[in-house]
Homo-oligomer: A and B are copies of this chain.
């Protein structure tokens, strides 16, 4: 009885103030999505998963939705946001490291050549991260990240990177949560980098961010205990790493997965075509088709290559967002313009 009350009050209030037409309009959970097949596919999936009389009803605790971050929730062009942070760190520390002017990967980063900087593979990347962050605690690292986000601006959009997030995806996250889904970020980016801002910009707490990580060690220093970052990659949460990370952290198969590149291929395969998969399940790819308002890229792009996953989308029943057609707006209003 008590549980039913707030809903009844809410319903009564809505009818009193808006009438049914008003309710329907006010209730559009995805106002930044244009009407069409893409939006309808999302609404249909949520309806099938959450209606108590649905033959595909999923209990709330099992409603898991996983989102890639770079290119799916926030902009990844012309450079990964975390790469911009790394470049800024190298520049900030370069005066103390004259050898970086000629030494890869630092020299390449200082010239802004990300592709060259990352050509050393996993070890090269580990060496880079190490030179910048080894021996730091999580708090020290996250403080640097926060300071950088406060001042850095996207080179084209001239807004904080925390506002280079896709308004339609923010609405989708909120809609899924309001529908009883637990929303996770499953990112190739650094777990601790993304966790610094995930709650603020997406409403996703740190424990629901799964990403790439480096090893750490527990240590005592002057009587206090610390966890220090080590110069060694622990986990790359990309490609096949994504379903593996999901099973390790969540222990349940997602019902819905959202990505934008071939790095998300296996996460979508696992979500929609894994062994013992029962309906409903949902896979979605954000296809960047809007050079005017954002960027247009897929098969040929170095960042966010979308080729194999795009080829498999039709066969596997994945929904493909045509950014130009499906999204009414790209970014939220910036706090600075208000």
Contacts and interface: CB of A to CB of B under 8 A. Distances in A.
A225 B2 contact: no
A192 interface: yes
Most chain B CB neighbours (cut-off 10 Å) among A138, A251, A252, A275: A251
Interface in A263-300: 266, 269-270, 273-277
Contact of A251 (B207, B218, B252): B207
Interface residues of A, number: 48
Nearest to A137: B275
A191 interface: yes
A145 to B, nearest CB: 13
B273 A224 contact: yes
B2 A250 contact: no
Interface string A214-232: 0011101101111100000
Contacts of A6: 2, 5-6
Interface in A135-154: 137-139
Interface stretch (A43-51, A88-96, A239-247, A329-337): A239-247
Nearest to A272: B225
Interface string A230-260: 0000100000100110011111100000000
Given A5-B6, A6-B6, A139-B276, A250 B216 contact: no
Interface string A48-62: 000000000000010
A227 B243 contact: yes
A305 interface: no
Given A207-B250, A217-B240, A244-B218, A10 B2 contact: yes
Nearest to A210: B249
A266 B225 contact: yes
A26 to B, nearest CB: 15
Contacts of A13: 2
Contact of A199 (B61, B240, B266): B61
B213 A248 contact: yes
A195 interface: yes
29 contacts: A2-B10, A2-B13, A5-B5, A5-B6, A6-B6, A137-B275, A138-B251, A139-B275, A139-B276, A206-B251, A207-B249, A207-B250, A207-B251, A213-B248, A216-B247, A218-B240, A218-B244, A218-B266, A218-B270, A220-B269, A223-B273, A224-B274, A224-B277, A225-B274, A225-B275, A226-B274, A227-B247, A227-B270, A249-B249
Interface of A: 2, 5-6, 9-10, 13, 61, 137-139, 182, 191-192, 195, 199, 205-207, 209, 213, 216-218, 220-221, 223-227, 234, 240, 243-244, 247-252, 266, 269-270, 273-277
